Amino acid sequence: MKILINTPDTSFFGGVANHYKGLKPFWTEKVKYNFIGGRKGVPGSLFLIYDYIKFIFLCAFANYDVILLNPSLGKTAIKRDALFLKIATFFKIKTVVFFHGWSKNMVNELNKNASKFTEIFNKADKLIVLAKAFKNDLINWGITKPIYQTTTKVNDELLSEFDFNAKSWDSNILFLTRVETYKGIFTTLEAFLDVKSKFPSATLTIAGNGSKLTMAKQFVIDNNLQGVEFLGNISGNKLIESFTKASIYILPSHGEGMPTSVLEAMAFGLPIISRPVGGLFDFFEEDKMGYLIESHEPKEYFERILSLLENSERCREMGRYNREYACKYFMASKVALKLEEILIN
């Protein structure tokens, strides 16, 4: 079976591109990636007409059995992929729409009036989401086509040389995502400030770039906060090293689809401290995998971090459980097969 997947350029860092880059070695069907959006430093808006024309030719002459579109639930992506969907259905090609990100602002807008959205996306043969709550939204808006739930993934090769039993537990907390307020960077820093007063040997590693990076560094300077390391964007061996030396993973994010960094942290045997956002809420086992905290208050994160740092055996027990769970459900080799099954059946 021939499958065409619209995706951002897989040389990009993070997001949908990273997802399909990780799945690529594990397809069993004939899968081709059709890059859309920005590439080579050129904004996506300048490629848009070209992308539509190229897509028309692929639909008309390449004999694909299934097309997979990959928008986020945001105004720009919805408008862009609505036309891709119309083109695919014009050529009578089975089309599946996989919504990744889930904008709260867009949800609020569609809660008021979703008729146009529903009319367009009910033309898809199937839809895929990353969380049960997202599926419920689609149903409430009037989507009647089958809706499936899947997950993001952990690249198998990341763990090829990782040995959980050789892991050291050096009281290092890892924050690995974009450095933004909505990702919880200042909640993390303020919680760590309190952690240092009770557990002086604790360290915090911040990996990622973002619009609040300079402010985060200034917070560290202003508070004379020792033990904080900023790495910027990391990948490859540096990514593996950061997960390996960490003892706890923290992500007090305001909203997510299914955060890959959390799944990677679990696969590297880390307890998780996060929030009940996106797909995490659907599988997370409180007190077994770590803690999901509804609040944004730093004090609550401080208390959970401290409870784990003061009980390394408990930390290790959670980490072992998370590793086993992630290896069973989140590895790219398994996620690719599950996604193929949805597409071809």
- Number of separate domains in the chain: 2
Contacts of 295 (CB under 8 A, 6+ apart): none
Q: Is 63 left (phi over 0), alpha (psi -120 to 50) or beta?
A: left
DSSP E strands, 36-146:
66-69, 94-98, 126-129
Q: What is the DSSP letter of 125?
A: S
Q: How far is CA 77 from CA 74, 119, 339, in A?
A: 6, 16, 21
Instruction: Give burial (CB, 10 Å; 0-12/13-18/19+) of 245.
Output: middle
Say if residue 299 is in the same domain as residue 337.
no
What CATH number did the domain enclosing 213 receive? 3.40.50.2000
Q: Is 8 left (phi over 0), alpha (psi -120 to 50) or beta?
A: beta
Which helix H or strand E contains 76, and what residues bound it?
Answer: helix 75-90
d(CA 107, CA 34): 28
The phi and psi torsions of 148 (rounded to 5 degrees) equal: -115, 155
Say if residue 321 is in the same domain as residue 181.
yes
Question: Taking Cα atoms as reference points, which of 82, 21, 18 lies closest to residue 257?
Answer: 18
Q: Could you tell me the end-to-end alpha-carbon distance of the chain, in angstroms, rounded to an integer?
A: 11
Residue 14: per-residue pLDDT: 67
What residue type is assigned to position 320 of the chain? R
3-state secondary structure 235-278: CHHHHHHHHHHCCEEEECCCCCCCCHHHHHHHHCCCCEEECCCC
DSSP calls for 329-344: HTBHHHHHHHHHHHHH
Say if residue 57 is in the same domain as residue 187.
no
Two tokens at 101?
């990100």
Say if residue 227 is in the same domain as residue 297.
yes
The phi and psi torsions of 164 (rounded to 5 degrees) equal: -60, -40
| Chain center to CA of 66 | 24
Q: What is the DSSP letter of 177?
A: S
d(CA 343, CA 345): 6
Question: Taking Cα atoms as reference points, which of 301, 336, 281 lies closest to residue 135?
Answer: 281
Spatial contact of 157 and 23, defined as CB atoms under 8 Å apart: no
In tens, the pLDDT along 6-33 reads 999 998 766 899 899 999 999 999 999 9
Say if residue 170 is in the same domain as residue 319.
yes
Say if residue 21 is in the same domain as residue 141.
yes
Spatial contact of 266 and 323, defined as CB atoms under 8 Å apart: yes
Say if residue 139 is in the same domain as residue 173.
no
Give residue 72's domain range.
2-153+332-344
Two tokens at 214?
């300079």
Q: What is the number of alpha carbons within 13 Å of residue 310 lying toward its C-beta?
A: 10
Residue 41: per-residue pLDDT: 80
Sheet containing 272-274: order of strands = 228-232, 203-207, 172-176, 248-251, 272-274, 290-292
- The pTM of the whole model exceeds 0.95: no
Say if residue 100 is in the same domain as residue 77.
yes
Residue 44: per-residue pLDDT: 87
Contacts of 199 (CB under 8 A, 6+ apart): 171, 306, 309, 310
Say if residue 78 is in the same domain as residue 171.
no
How many CB atoms are located within 10 Å of the residue 277 CB?
A: 22
Say if residue 188 is in the same domain as residue 135.
no
Mean pLDDT by 10 residues, the chain (345 residues): 96 84 96 93 90 98 98 95 98 97 94 97 98 97 98 94 93 97 98 97 97 98 98 94 97 93 97 96 97 97 97 96 97 97 95
Say if residue 174 is in the same domain as residue 143.
no
What CATH number did the domain enclosing 144 receive? 3.40.50.11930
Residue 15: per-residue pLDDT: 82
DSSP calls for 140-175: HHT--S-EEE----B-GGGGTT--GGG-----EEEE
Count how many residues are written for the chain.
Answer: 345
Say if residue 66 is in the same domain as residue 176.
no
